[in-house]
């Protein structure tokens, strides 16, 4: 694309990066304009790259964080150590934030980023700050009609705009107002509250999509090998957060070819496998659903569907068990008391059960439903056991053998999944037809992709349950739903 400053800013950033003492940048990679596929800037290989090649190195001293910015030395009381030790409510930009004035790793970095931004050319990170985004596609910035397109998806209830507004009002604006001489030291006009709040939103969203968790130590992961616990995402929003120039220019997918090693003095990007000329160098943001990817990063990809999730409320399962066994509230309450569970989970996560990427960053492309959560089965089992005791001649008499109990469990979950699907105002078929008819671009297209992904997951979970019911025999769970052969889905 021509006629804008995009290429010049990329070049200025690259020149600046290469000039940093201790930084390295492999000659066979380059920054690329990927806006035509909605991916901003990215890094691509210009020649074949061998596995384990060091792609670039960022000295820790060049990361933007409270330890490297001069801001904490100017307002030490705000960054006092003991106020940052408390990470309990250190959720993320849109998550719950304590009402106290103490700063956490999110708000500390937001303050640092605002300070460095307001310094303009005086900031040592100016060429880097110039290429960070000013607008976002995360639902935090969507209009009401756009948000409605998210329907009953997992992301709809966790957009977090109000929490972010509250955090900015209680932890960011008061600090800037109290230290206006520090934040506006260049003699510029102080910004209004609205301007500052919008700047804080911008920095918070940048951190959400770009910052790295610097407290992660993967010394034993120096060769990019899979760690004992599997792949760890680079940004989990806890610990010490920092903005890592160049590392955060890597886009990501569920199938990826590069990894950022957190070494003592530097962060080092290495190739996990051979990268062909023209291929994009891709990082890994963790096994997150497309809904979560949209919430944090503002994009979706077909491959991330493998980690999609749907929350199944316990109340839907309970309603189906009660309906099936003809139980009133009173008997159910007695069973609940009898079951005497420490915690009754009020929802369960339905997911495909897909594997993590292998040690070279590969995932296979099949989507296959692997089963219901064990915790859901355990909780239903505990209630059915209790029912046998509190209502032995009624519901209990229909729960005497294990197949009967399994049938009730499966049929209830099948019904609950149907009720969960009905919470979305449109069906999967309607969504797919709309996708084919309109192929909507932008935010509406992303919302459609998230809800189609969730509805396909529900449909496949239903197929799996029907198969299990079928195996139990024709009368199991008194389901009159036809059995449908489970199929493997291909991307
Ligand atoms: C860490 S940054 C990566 C660099 C970014 N492309 C840029 O131009 O600054 C993360 C952001 O890049 C974009 N991104 C990352 N991976 C992507 C992908 N596979 N497809 C589309 N956009 C992607 C999203 O906007 C995301 O919020």
Question: Which one of 297, 301, 445 would you pick to mutate in the ligand 1 pocket, going by the greatest count of ligand atoms within 8 A of its CB?
Answer: 297
Mutate to test the pocket of ligand 1, among 132, 141, 209 (most ligand atoms within 8 A of CB): 209
User: Which residue, among 155, 140, 158, has the nearest Cα to 453 in the 3D structure?
Assistant: 155
For position 101, what pLDDT does the model report? 58
> Residue with the nearest Cα to atom 20 of ligand 1?
39
Among the listed residues 304, 305, 313, 308, the one whose alpha carbon sits nearest the alpha carbon of residue 284: 304
Residue 229: how many other CB atoms lie within 10 Å: 7
What is the CB < 6 Å shell around ligand 1?
Answer: 38-42, 209-210, 248-249, 251-253, 297-299, 301
Task: Give 281-301 as a DSSP string.
Answer: PEE---S--HHHHHHHHS---
Cα-to-centroid distance, 481 and ligand 1 (Å)? 43
pTM of the model: 0.90
Task: Give the ipTM of the model, two decimals please.
Answer: 0.99
According to DSSP, the β-strands at 29-33 and 41-45 are: antiparallel
C-alpha dihedral (276, 277, 280, 283), degrees to nearest 10: 50
Distance between CA 422 and CA 6 in Å, rounded?
Answer: 45
Decide: helix, strand or coil at residue 280.
strand
* Ligand 1 mean position, distance from CA 83 (Å): 32
How many whole angstroms separate alpha carbon 3 and alpha carbon 35? Answer: 14
Three-class DSSP category at 359: coil
Best residue for ligand 1 mutational test, from 213, 252, 303 (most atoms within 8 Å of Cβ)? 252
pLDDT score at 217: 59
Note down pLDDT in tens along the chain; length 491 residues: 555 799 999 999 999 999 999 999 999 999 999 999 999 999 999 999 999 999 999 999 999 999 999 999 999 999 986 544 444 444 576 654 444 558 999 999 999 999 999 999 999 999 999 999 999 999 999 999 999 999 999 999 999 999 999 999 999 999 999 999 999 987 778 899 999 999 999 999 999 999 999 876 554 443 333 343 455 444 444 578 999 999 999 999 999 999 999 999 999 999 999 999 999 999 999 999 999 999 999 999 999 999 999 999 999 999 999 999 999 999 999 999 999 989 999 999 999 999 999 999 999 989 999 999 999 999 999 999 999 999 999 999 999 999 999 999 999 999 999 999 999 999 999 999 999 999 999 999 999 999 999 999 999 999 999 999 999 987 666 533 333 333 343 33
Distance 75 CA to ligand 1 centre (A): 33
> Which ligand 1 atom is the nearest neighbour of the CA of 138?
27
Q: Using the mean position of ligand 1's atoms as its centre, give its distance from the Cα of residue 253 in Å.
A: 10
Atom from ligand 1 closest to the CA of residue 40: 8
Per-residue confidence (pLDDT) for residue 219, from 0 to 100: 46
């Amino acid at each position: 694309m021509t006629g804008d400053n995009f290429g010049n800013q990329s070049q200025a950033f690259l020149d600046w990066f290469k000039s940093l003492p201790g930084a390295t940048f492999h000659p066979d990679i380059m920054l690329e304009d990927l806006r035509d596929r909605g991916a901003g800037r990215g890094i691509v290989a210009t020649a074949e790259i061998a596995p384990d090649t060091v792609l670039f190195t960022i000295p820790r001293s060049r990361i933007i964080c409270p330890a490297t910015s001069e801001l904490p030395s100017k307002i030490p009381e705000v960054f006092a150590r003991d106020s940052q030790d408390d990470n309990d409510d250190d959720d993320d930009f849109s998550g719950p934030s304590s009402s106290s004035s103490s700063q956490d790793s999110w708000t500390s970095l937001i303050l640092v980023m605002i300070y460095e931004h307001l310094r303009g050319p005086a900031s040592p990170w100016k060429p880097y700050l110039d290429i960070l985004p000013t607008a976002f596609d995360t639902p935090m910035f969507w209009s009401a009609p756009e948000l409605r397109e998210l329907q009953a998806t997992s992301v709809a209830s966790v957009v977090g705009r109000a929490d972010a507004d509250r955090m900015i009002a209680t932890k960011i604006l008061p600090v800037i107002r109290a230290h206006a001489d520090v934040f506006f030291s260049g003699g510029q006009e102080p910004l209004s509250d609205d301007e500052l709040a919008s700047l804080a939103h911008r920095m918070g969203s940048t951190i959400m999509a770009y910052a790295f968790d610097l407290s992660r130590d993967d010394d034993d992961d120096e060769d990019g090998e899979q760690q004992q616990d599997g792949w760890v995402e680079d940004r989990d929003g806890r610990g010490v957060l920092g903005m890592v120039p160049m590392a955060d220019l890597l886009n990501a997918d569920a199938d990826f070819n590069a990894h950022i090693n957190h070494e003592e003095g530097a962060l080092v990007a290495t190739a996990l496998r051979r990268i062909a000329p023209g291929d994009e160098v891709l990082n890994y943001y963790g096994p997150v659903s497309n809904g979560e990817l949209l919430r944090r990063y503002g994009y979706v990809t077909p491959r991330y569907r493998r980690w999609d999730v749907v929350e199944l409320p316990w109340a839907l399962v309970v309603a189906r068990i009660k309906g099936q066994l003809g139980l009133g509230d009173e008997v159910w309450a007695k069973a609940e008391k009898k079951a005497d569970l420490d915690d009754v989970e009020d929802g369960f996560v339905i997911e495909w059960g897909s594997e993590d990427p292998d040690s070279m960053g590969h995932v296979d492309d099949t989507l296959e439903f692997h089963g219901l959560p064990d915790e859901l089965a355990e909780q239903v089992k505990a209630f059915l056991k209790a029912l046998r005791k509190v209502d032995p001649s009624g519901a209990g008499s229909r729960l005497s053998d294990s197949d009967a109990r399994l049938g009730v469990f499966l049929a209830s979950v099948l019904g609950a999944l149907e009720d969960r699907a009905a919470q979305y105002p449109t069906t999967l078929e309607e969504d797919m037809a709309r996708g084919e008819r309109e192929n909507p671009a932008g935010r509406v297209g992303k919302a459609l992709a998230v809800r189609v992904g969730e509805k396909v997951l529900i449909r496949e979970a239903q197929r799996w349950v029907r198969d299990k019911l079928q195996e139990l025999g024709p009368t199991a769970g008194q389901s009159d739903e036809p059995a449908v052969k489970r199929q493997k889905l291909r991307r």
